[in-house]
Amino acid sequence: MKKIINYFIRYHVAVNIIIIAFLLFGTLGVKSLKSSFFPLTESHIVQIAVTYPGASPAEIEEGVILKIEDNLKGLVGVERVTSVSRENSGSITVEVEKELDINFMLLEVKNAVDRVPSYPTGMEPLVVSKQEPVRSTINFALTAENTTLLELKKIGRQVENDLRALPGISH
């Protein structure tokens, strides 16, 4: 430690150069630093939407969801598969391991869905998509006295259109 201190006492120009380098690289680092109030995160969820008009939840589960889940069991990189069957529709949520590329896994899930030999007749085409993260920035409510619900809905649509017309607002 004494050698370092003696060196800097003898060569005070070296100390000045090191301080200037720290300031220069610190300034460049701060300027190139990317930050966001609402940081974007990569999604690791693939959704499969099933629409089968007129079908009961049991028909959707037996005729569609179980077949797809059987094909998804063999995929490497799938962390968890959950499904919900409702009347006329159903959905399957595939959670992908965080280290893997979501776009590659989306293709793998689509291939697994396409490997199902047959689906019930009358079923609409399946929608396989990656879930995009959406964060709400603002929530508001409209209330009024002596105003009908129809008028309040018109005012709400007008406020929505005005907000969407602002630059930087997408949803």
| pLDDT for res 39 | 66
Q: Based on the domain organization, do 119 and 52 belong to the same domain?
A: yes
Return left, alpha or beta for 168; rule: phi > 0 is left, psi -120 to 50 is alpha, else beta: left
Total domains in the chain come to: 2
Residues 73 and 126 in one domain: yes
Q: Kindly state whether residues 78 and 120 are assigned to the same domain.
A: yes
Residue 126 lies in a domain: yes
Q: Answer yes or no: do 25 and 71 share one domain.
A: no
- The whole-model pTM stands at 0.59
Residue 10 lies in a domain: yes
Task: Based on the fold, state whether residues 94 and 124 are members of the same structural domain.
Answer: yes
- Angle at CA of residue 110, ends 57 and 134, nearest 5°: 75
84 Cβ neighbours under 8 A, 6+ residues apart: 90, 91
Whether 72 and 126 share a structural domain: yes
Which structure tokens are listed for 50? 């099933």
Place 47 in a pLDDT band, splitting at 50, 70 and 90.
very high
Q: What is the mean pLDDT of residues 90-100?
A: 91
**pLDDT for the residue 37:** 67
| pLDDT over 70 percentage in the chain | 94
Q: Residue 74's domain is classified under what CATH number?
A: 3.30.70.1430
Q: What is the pLDDT of residues 1-42, one digit of tens each?
A: 788 888 888 888 888 899 999 999 999 998 888 776 666 677
119 with 49, same domain? Answer: yes
The boundaries of the domain holding residue 94 are 45-130
Residues 7 and 80 in one domain: no
CB 62 within 8 A of CB 85: no
Mean pLDDT in residue range 116-127? 88
For residues 21 and 97, state if they share a domain.
Answer: no
